[in-house]
Amino acid sequence: MNFDYYIYIDYSENLIGYIIIHKDKIEELLPKLSKFHHYRGLKHKRQYISSIKKIIIKNSIKNFLLKYKIRKLRDNTLVFAEVLNFVKEHDNCGIFVSIDDHQYNAFIKLFAIMPHKEHVFIIKESNLKRESKEYKLSLIIDNLLNIERIKTVE
């Protein structure tokens, strides 16, 4: 199935965030993500975050995002509401949504009360196929969250 928008919701310790990407930006964006990795599996985390921050700035990764937001985890309902509002406003478009496994059940409960949701495909982050474009795009929010989390710790 072809999607018009790709939405990724992820969390990292005390932060939650989302990104929305329009399909027209994906082909240009994917080559810029070649050095992106899932933070959890890395050995040299500090060095990785430092270099990935530079790559995000150099490649203007945030300019490819239609929308993105990072908040404290306690504001997860606000994050979900913004995403659901976007889905509601774009009910004539195919929408792909990837949700962090830990936030999946809470999001699905809110999503269930929405009318007209046949145009939305929701998947748990852990079910994304490694090396797929959907997986590579999910690394954007993963890295943005970890950059923000480390910035607030320092």
Closest CA to 153 of 8, 49, 41: 49
0.85 surpassed by pTM: yes
Looking at residue 12, its pLDDT comes to 87
**Average pLDDT per block of 10 residues along the chain, 154 residues long:** 92 93 96 84 80 93 96 93 94 93 93 88 94 93 91 62
Domains of the chain: 5-153 (3.30.420.10)
Q: Residue 128 in contact with residue 138, Cβ under 8 Å?
A: yes
User: What dihedral angle (degrees, nearest 10) is formed by the CA atoms of 45, 51, 52, 56?
Assistant: 160
pLDDT at 151: 75
